[in-house]
């Protein structure tokens, strides 16, 4: 990354929405990492399908970067994230890139350039700009490629890591979330599939596509997410806050503890939404778990968002637990001994999807049940008089 205090040449796409966005990032960022540009599709080779998320497909590609002045060519492996049906792209389609650009701009102003440079690479995924598939006309986001995969895959493969190493990984994730919150941004779709790895312990947070400023109004917006990671207040019609992300982090702590996906044994439907609102959480236990870990996890997923700790206070507690773990290591319990794995449930959906209609139905159903219970209690009280 470089600190830029002078103008530079950059390419445009010819699309008004995309070009206005590129000009915005070039104007409002002091850092090269926050500045986007358009890259011609013919600069990419060996393009192959890599993965599919809730809203897009990811491709692995080789970016051929030619420097005519130096007369040399560099090759870099990158990921291309397809923006579905983006031929007629809107500014909303570019929200993920805008959040990253704003993140860079806000943190560089808040902390100063030098400190921001130290932390950007270990917090959120690095984005380079936009390209366009000449056949489909869909636009694609250019970003770093992470061969270690996401946290879900990582935990499946490396669950038997020591608790000390797991705590280092959690602290790395939380550092990223803290800096996102420090930039007044709420992730809103924080889960183990949106955490990538470029080394054995350094976490990279991605998919800021539905993120928003913590001061933005979000009335009439569709709610997206994976039900087990969504905070109960969102299911009850309240606004997203940084505490909503903290709830999701508490669920991620549970994944580190068990190696399982939350509520893998239940259908992710209206019933689960209602049960979460009524206090249901994944099963917690204390055997072979570092002291203080479970209590901290439960604080993170408290039903009252005002009683959840901030990212900064969680960091302090995790650092203390990590230090204790270094002195007195906790034995890792074999995976099947923790929670026996039942047959994979097709009703457990771990891709982000629109949830607003389900939430409305859950709110209505829950209110009907509560009203019925209240009336029944009233009848019983009258009968007892």
For the segment 133-170, what is each residue's pLDDT rounded down to a tens digit? 999 999 999 989 988 889 998 888 888 889 999 999 99
Q: Catalytic one among 93, 102, 189, 245?
A: 189
195: Cβ contacts below 8 Å, ≥ 6 apart? 150, 151, 173, 203, 204, 205, 206, 252
Residues 6+ apart with CB under 8 A from 78: 44, 60, 61, 62, 63, 128, 142, 143, 144, 145
Q: What is the pLDDT of residue 203?
A: 86
CATH 3.40.50.300 fits 151-369, yes or no: no
User: Can you give the residue ranges of every domain in the chain?
Assistant: 16-144, 151-369
Would you state the structure tokens that stand for residue 175, as one six-digit string?
Answer: 């550092």
116: confidence class by pLDDT, cuts 50, 70, 90? very low
Q: Mark whether 189 is an active-site residue.
A: yes
Where is pLDDT greater, at 121 or 328?
328
Most confidently modeled range among 1-5, 72-76, 108-112, 278-282: 278-282
Give pLDDT tens digits for 229-275. Answer: 999 999 999 999 999 999 999 999 999 999 889 999 999 999 999 99
Which range (11-15, 90-94, 96-100, 181-185) has the least confidence?
Answer: 96-100
Tokens 């030098």 locate to 114
* pLDDT band for position 125 (cuts 50, 70, 90): confident
Superfamily of structural domain 16-144: Phosphorylase Kinase; domain 1 (3.30.200.20)
- The model's confidence at residue 185, banded by pLDDT at 50, 70 and 90, is confident
d(CA 184, CA 186): 7
More confident residue, 36 or 234: 234
Q: How far apart are the first and last CA of the chain?
A: 76
pLDDT in tens, 361-381: 999 998 888 776 655 555 554
pLDDT confidence of residue 254 = 96
Spatial CA neighbour of 175 closest among 120, 97, 114 = 120
**pLDDT level of residue 188 (50, 70, 90 thresholds):** very high
Better pLDDT: 220 or 75: 75
pLDDT of residue 371: 74
Q: What are phi and psi of 182, to 5 degrees?
A: -65, -25
Segment 96-116 shows an average pLDDT of 65
Nearest 5°: CA angle at 231, between 227 and 233?
120
For the cut 60, the answer to whether the pLDDT of residue 217 exceeds it is no
Q: Taking 80 as the threshold, does the pLDDT of residue 110 lie above it?
A: no
Contact of 180 with 103, CB cutoff 8 Å: yes
Phi/psi for 261 (5° steps) reads -85, 140
Higher-confidence residue of 342 and 20: namely 20
Q: What percentage of residues in the chain have a pLDDT greater than 90? A: 49
Q: Are 56 and 36 in contact (CB under 8 A)?
A: no
Higher pLDDT, 293 or 378: 293
* Residue 234 pLDDT: 97
Handedness of CA 355, 359, 360, 365 (dihedral sign): positive
pLDDT number for residue 6 = 47
Considering the chain, what percentage of its residues have pLDDT values greater than 70? 79
**pLDDT for 42-69, tens place per residue?**
999 999 998 887 678 899 999 999 876 7
**Is residue 91 over pLDDT 50?**
yes
- Cβ atoms of 131 and 22 within 8 Å: the answer is no
The helix-helix angle for 16-28 and 95-111 (nearest 10°) equals 10
d(CA 118, CA 112): 11
pLDDT value of residue 24: 84
- Residue 100 has a pLDDT of 74
pLDDT value at residue 344: 67
Which has more confidence, 222 or 255?
255
Mean pLDDT of the residues in the chain: 84
């Amino acid at each position: 990354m470089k600190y830029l205090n002078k103008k530079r040449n950059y390419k445009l796409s010819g699309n008004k929405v995309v070009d206005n966005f590129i000009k915005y990032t070039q104007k409002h960022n002091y850092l090269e990492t926050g500045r986007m540009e358009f890259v011609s599709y013919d600069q990419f080779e060996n393009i192959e399908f890599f993965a599919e998320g809730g809203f897009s497909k990811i491709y692995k590609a080789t970016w051929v970067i030619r420097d005519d002045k130096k007369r040399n060519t560099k090759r870099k492996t990158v990921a291309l994230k397809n923006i579905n049906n983006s031929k007629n792209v809107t500014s909303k389609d570019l929200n993920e890139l805008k959040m990253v650009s704003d993140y860079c701009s806000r943190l560089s102003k808040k902390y100063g350039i030098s400190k921001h440079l130290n932390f950007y690479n270990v917090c959120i995924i690095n984005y380079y700009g936009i390209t366009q598939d000449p056949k489909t006309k869909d636009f694609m986001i250019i970003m770093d490629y992470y061969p270690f995969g996401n946290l879900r895959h990582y935990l499946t493969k490396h669950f038997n890591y020591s608790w000390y190493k797991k705590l280092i990984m959690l602290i790395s994730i939380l550092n990223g979330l803290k800096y996102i919150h420090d930039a007044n941004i709420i992730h809103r779709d924080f889960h183990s599939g949106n955490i990538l790895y470029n080394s054995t312990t350094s976490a990279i947070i991605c998919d800021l596509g539905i993120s928003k400023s913590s001061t933005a109004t979000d009335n009439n917006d569709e709610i997206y997410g994976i039900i087990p990671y969504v905070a109960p207040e969102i299911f009850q019609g309240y606004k997203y806050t940084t505490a909503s992300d903290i709830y999701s982090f508490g669920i991620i702590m549970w994944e580190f503890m068990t190696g399982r996906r939350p509520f893998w044994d239940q259908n992710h439907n209206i019933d689960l939404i209602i049960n979460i609102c009524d206090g249901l959480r994944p099963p917690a236990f204390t055997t072979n778990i570092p002291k203080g870990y479970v209590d901290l996890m439960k604080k993170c997923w408290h039903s009252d968002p005002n009683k959840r700790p901030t990212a900064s206070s969680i960091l302090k507690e995790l650092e203390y637990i990590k230090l204790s773990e270094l002195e007195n290591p906790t034995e890792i319990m074999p995976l099947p001994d923790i929670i026996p794995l039942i047959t994979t449930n097709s009703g457990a959906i771990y891709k982000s999807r629109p949830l607003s209609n389900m939430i409305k139905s859950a709110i209505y159903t829950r209110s009907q049940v509560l009203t019925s219970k209240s009336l029944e209690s009233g009848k019983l009280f009258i009968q007892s008089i």
